[in-house]
Amino acid sequence: MVTSTAAAHKTPQQQTRVLIVGNYCHDVLMQKDTVKAESLGGAASFISNVVNGMSVSCNLVSKVGEDFKYPVDFTPIVIPTSKTTVFHAYFDLGIDGNGHQDRVLKRVSACDPIRPSDLPDARSNFGMAVGVGGEILPETLERMIETCDAVFVDIQALIRVFDSADGTVKLVKLEETEFYSLLPRIEVLKASSEEAVFMDVEEVRKWCCVVVTNGKEGCKVYWKDGELGISPFLANQKDPTGAGDSFLGGFCGGVGSRFGCA
C-alpha cells in the first residue's frame, strides 16, 4: 500500500547493503516545444534498477506527489500537499563534438525535500545521495554519513540551482555550497565532465575519490595518490538521460561486491 506520510513510511528495518536517497520524478523530453517522450525519471529510479539487477539488497527513500504515475519496485513517500518533481528536457537536433546531445533542462515542479527524519534508522553498508531537484539537504547528507559505512554522492545533488522564473537548471561552484565541508567524510563524488569544471578536482581528490565521466571517452577515477582512466564499452546512444546515474549504481555495486566496504 502506498503511504501518505513519512512517519507511516518509516518502519523498523534490518541493515541493508545499499541506501538510495533521491526523489523520483517525471521526465518529459521536448524538441521544438513538442513532447517527444515521457518517462519515469530521477537518478534514484535508474540506480535502483541497476542495484536490483545485481541482486544487491537495498532501501530507497524518495518523495512524490499524489500525481505520481509510474509503477516502481520501491514504494515512495507520497506527499498529499505536493506535486511530483517534473523536469522538461529540451533537446537540440545537433550533437556536440564529444558525442553529448545538447539540452536545456528545466524543473517545472518540485516535491518536498528529503529530511534526516525520513531516513531509516538501520545502518547501511553504502549510501547513495542522488538528488536531482534540490531535494537533498546538507543535514540529510550528514545523517547518511552517520548511518552508512561509506557514502557515494552525485555532484548534481549538491550544485544544482533553479531559475526562479522558469526553473532552468544552473550549476554553482561546489565550494560555494553548504555541502563542501562534508566532502572529507564521503567516499566517492561522481561528476560528468561538464559538472567537474564546477569544482577543483585537484583539491577535492585529497579528501575523497572523484569519478569524472566523459561520455564516449569513458571516465577517470582520481584519488589522493593517483588516477586511472577507464575506457567505455561500445554502445549506440539513443538518449543519454540516466546514463551517468546507471554508471554510478554499477560503480557502487561493483566496488561493494569486489572489495567490500573497506
Residue spans of the chain under pLDDT 70: 1-16, 53, 92-102, 233-262
Q: Is 111 exposed, middle or buried (0-12, 13-18, 19+ CB in 10 A)?
A: buried
What residue spans define the domains of the chain? 14-256
Residue 262 pLDDT: 41
Helix (H, G, I), strand (E, B) or coil at 201: helix
DSSP code for 1: -
Q: Which CATH class is domain 14-256?
A: alpha beta
Cα-Cα-Cα-Cα dihedral sign, residues 102, 108, 113, 118: negative
Give the distance from CA 219 to its chain's centroid: 17
Q: What is the pLDDT of residue 252?
A: 58
Distance CA 132, CA 136 (A): 8
Separation between Cα atoms, residue 44 and residue 26, nearest integer Å: 12
Catalytic residue set: 245
pLDDT value, residue 164: 95
Q: Look at the block and give the residue holding cell 506527499.
A: 79
Q: Looking up cell 562534508, which residue turns up?
A: 182
Strand ordering across the sheet containing 34-41: 34-41, 25-31, 85-95, 101-109
pLDDT score for 52: 73
What per-residue confidence (pLDDT) applies to 169? 96
